[in-house]
Amino acid sequence: MKIAIAQQNYHIGNFAGNTNKIIDAITEAKQKGAALIVFSELAICGYPPRDFLEFEDFIDQCQAALDKIKPHTAGIGVLIGAPDRNPSSKGKRLYNAAYFLHDGETRAVVYKTCLPTYDVFDEYRYFEPAHEWTLVDFQGKKLAVTLCEDIWNLGDNPLYTHCPMDQLIGQQPDIIINLSASPFDYTHVEDRKAIVKRNVLRYHIPLVYCNAVGSQTEIVFDGGSLVMDKHANLVAQLPLFKESLQLITWNEDGSFAEPALQTAAQLPDAELDPLRLEPDLCTAEIKDALVSGIRDYFKKMGFTKAILGSSGGIDSAVTQALAVEALGKENVMAVLLPSAYSSDHSVRDAELLSQRLGNAYEIISIQPVFESLLGVLKKSFGNRPSGLAEENLQSRSRGNILMGLANKFGYVLLNTSNKSELATGYGTLYGDMAGGLGVLGDCYKLQVYALARYINRHTELIPHSIICKPPSAELRPDQLDTDSLPPYEVLDHILYQYIEKRRSPAAIRQLGYEATLVDRVLSMVNTNEYKRNQFCPIIRISPKAFGVGRRMPIVGKYLS
């Protein structure tokens, strides 16, 4: 039996676009002789549809899209994700379902059991978990159809009280098919292989895993769909960060016609869980994820052109290089916004960067705007010494100029703040925190350096002087980040322990950091929720990004 895996990039709520894409894949799979085609979770509407699921009309449109697809299922079995209404009067109103369509009819509907409700996931907000489990019969084979998280609930400490495969295995399935929408983070590419391997070795049947690809605002789906035989040999792997349709041949004896790409012994056994931040971990994949995040944000929002403030520092340099890769140099405008405190080398470095990347740039001094602000505020400010308020005025002058250009010419402003700054509140609301998309907001400063080195791996695109100068906001004479923050080599590791690993102050101190430093850093994190709450969406590359996946009280008093 030939099985096609359709790894596609959907647009949430764009039913016409998604349906056409799905029908195209079915048509192509049929032409190539597939008996069965597998799509990803909630492919019909795109994942995550969030509170659109609460609109009856949205569910009607999902059902209408399925009806449009049905006539194309003559002679081919189609497994596709869509929400289904709960036929019972009890429980949540919907199920997260896999529809099995064949010869124009719905032959089976399978419900998801394990509903991720943590980090960026809110599935129990909408869906009732499955309470019963049945295989799908197709051409003499028994398919154990599961949805994403359904195959992740193994181990000694399962997050859910039911494991659907433990229920299904007694019915003697021939294969596990998993429809996923499983997002990228830098631990996840290996994790995914490990978890598929664990399932195959536990249930002794092959597994076909179909993942979504493409970015949905902050969440990047990386694809990487795969097929493993019952011995945990990898027999197919679809590309990362790219749409792809691939066929495999499942033999009558349960093996695959394709030779193994990797054997069980070459594949990871356990999920990756670094105890410490490894800034160089998966830099290539992180770069691809960020490029995908920028590209799809613009494409799906209907924008083409980006603008950003180019300071001559490393964060804006990396953001600019990524934007040029994602959107093309002709679609990126860099604006150099020097003040009296900007160093000459910053302006020179920023110009050189734009020249090397080939994008347009402008230089606009913020000094007249800053001075006019000081002027109108002079009476109120009186003789008080210059301080943070004046620094913020400069930063907001920049934000104001950038937004003026964005509004006038239809640019989207890219934000260049990194995760270390956002964590500690080292940024100005409506100033350098302005923008429509946070490109580096999930990358610690040390990871930004790793990205810069990676971007320069073939040629020096980012001038060396940008990478090696000491970080500075340049909002007062001779200012350095280290005036306000610990060195990033220390800061990032403490932040990682607190944010990603959720360790206690005591546990972080035990790793060798001074108590007052740990307390100061954690307090900075917790007292700056109010700032991050107003920040734009951040492209997520870690297991714990700021934004929708990290929900902290703004008004609280814990470690603060």
Residues 419-458 that bind a second copy (CB under 8 A): 429-430, 434, 436
CB of 371 to a second copy, least distance (A): 7
Q: Please count the other Cβ atoms lying within 10 Å of the Cβ belonging to residue 489.
A: 10
Helix (H) or strand (E) holding 468: helix 464-468
Out of 404, 457, 464, 511, point to the residue binding a second copy (CB under 8 A): 404
CA–CA gap between residue 231 and residue 254 (Å, rounded): 11
Dist. CA 41–CA 48, nearest whole Å:
10
Q: Which residues contact 375 (CB under 8 A, 6 or more apart)?
A: none
The nearer residue to a second copy, 103 or 371, going by C-beta atoms, is 371
* Nearest distance in Å: CB 309, a second copy: 14
Structure tokens at 426: 């080292």
Member of 9, 397, 418, 472 binding a second copy (CB under 8 A): 397
Counting Cα atoms < 13 Å in the Cβ hemisphere of 113 gives 23
Residues between 63 and 102 that touch a second copy (CB under 8 A): 89-92
* Nearby residues of 437 by Cβ (< 8 Å), 6 or more positions away: 293, 294, 297, 412, 414, 415, 536, 537, 539
The answer to whether 212 touches 200, Cβ cutoff 8 Å, is no
**Stretch near a second copy under the rule CB under 8 A, chosen from 229-237, 360-368, 468-476, 511-519:** 360-368
Closest approach of a second copy to the CB of residue 358, in Å: 20
Q: Rounded to the nearest whole angstrom, what is the least distance from the CB of residue 94 to a second copy in the complex?
A: 12
Residues present in the chain in total:
560
- Name the residue nearer to a second copy (CB basis): 143 or 333: 333
> Closer CB to a second copy, residue 32 or residue 125?
125
Cβ count near 174 (within 10 Å) = 17
Which residues, 6 or more positions from 16, have their beta carbon under 8 angstroms from its beta carbon? none
Which one, 381 or 464, has the nearer CB to a second copy?
Answer: 381
Q: If binding is defined by CB under 8 A, does position 17 make contact with a second copy?
A: yes
553 binds a second copy (CB under 8 A): yes
Please confirm, yes or no, whether 536 is among the known catalytic residues: no
Give the residue with the Cβ less far from a second copy, 381 or 457: 381
161 binds a second copy (CB under 8 A): yes
Q: How far is the CB of 56 from a second copy (least distance, A)?
A: 6
The answer to the question of residue 117 lying near a second copy (CB under 8 A) is: yes
The structure tokens listed for 422 are 């956002």
- The Cα-based distances of 501 to 86, 275, 288, 545, 553 in angstroms read 37, 8, 25, 12, 18
The region of 33-41, 49-57, 103-111, 266-274 touching a second copy under the rule CB under 8 A is 49-57
Residue for token pair 């676009």: 17
Q: Would you say 312 and 466 are in contact if contact means Cβ atoms under 8 Å apart?
A: yes
Known catalytic residue at 112: yes
Q: How far is CA 194 from the centre of its chain?
A: 20
Looking at beta carbons only, is 173 or 549 nearer to a second copy?
Answer: 549
Catalytic residue of the set 112, 230, 305, 419: 112
243 annotated active-site: no
Min separation Cβ 499 and a second copy, Å: 10
Q: Which residues are catalytic?
A: 41, 112, 148
